[in-house]
Amino acid sequence: MVNDNVINLKNLNIDELAGVVNLYPWFGAARKELCLRMSRLGGWDDNEYAVNALYLASRKCISDIVRAGKSESYSDTDLHELLAAYTSGKEVVHEEHEEPKNRRVRALGGDFFSQDEYDSVRREEDNVFSSFAAKARSEEKREKSESNVLENFCTETLAQIFVEQGYYEQAKFIYSKLILRYPEKSAYFASLIDKLAQNADY
């Protein structure tokens, strides 16, 4: 079965190829072809190749493209001039290749992307987990503050109000807190807890 909807990437111009890459970011063959063409034109720096290599299963092909674009000529084109200069005794001046001064050095285990690169791909829906974490922290603080209010507001009068309203468990909780807060009255509060236990059985 032959599919008529097949696009030959080699027939596309650079703008169309960039459009395909933007439309289908995970299309590795299109990214490889785009890197190959940009290498021929010399329009990209190493950072652009690194970003595109992230989307490919094998980064070796991008590495080969980058290295092929930077290969030095070791041909014998200047051999005749070199021999003539040597035999005549003239000093040969060699052109020295300077290393680029803005060369980036990356440490292993470091962060390979700048904050600008992260910001360029960040979307609003990427903050889902941080919003869950923030919500959980706020709920935890609210629960702590509610429990602190109840623990700090433990009085015998409040316990009696709970008993009158029939909330025996809350009254027992308050009496147990009062036992810890006022150890000299622990026998009195323990007797009130026993009395509540007897009333709750009926």
* DSSP state letters, 12-28: S-HHHHHHHHHH-TT-H
Domain end among 20, 50, 70: 70
Has residue 49 been placed in a domain? yes
Residue 46 inside a domain? The answer is: yes
For residue 183, give Cα distances in angstroms to 128, 177, 178, 187.
Answer: 49, 10, 8, 8
24 is a domain residue: yes
Q: Is residue 137 part of a domain?
A: no
Predicted local distance difference test score (pLDDT) of residue 20:
87
What is the C-alpha radius of gyration for the chain, rounded to an integer number of angstroms? 39
Q: Domain for residue 102, yes or no?
A: no
Domain count, the chain: 2
Kindly report, residue by residue over 74-121, the tens digit of the pLDDT: 666 776 777 777 677 665 555 555 555 666 655 555 566 677 887 787
Asked if residue 69 has pLDDT above 70, the reply is: no
pLDDT in tens, 154-169: 889 999 999 999 899 9
Residue 143 pLDDT more than 80?
no
Is residue 181 one of the residues assigned to a domain? yes
Which residues form the domain of 39? 9-70
Q: Who has greater pLDDT, 52 or 134?
A: 52
Whole-Å CA distances, 97 to 20, 46, 72: 38, 18, 10
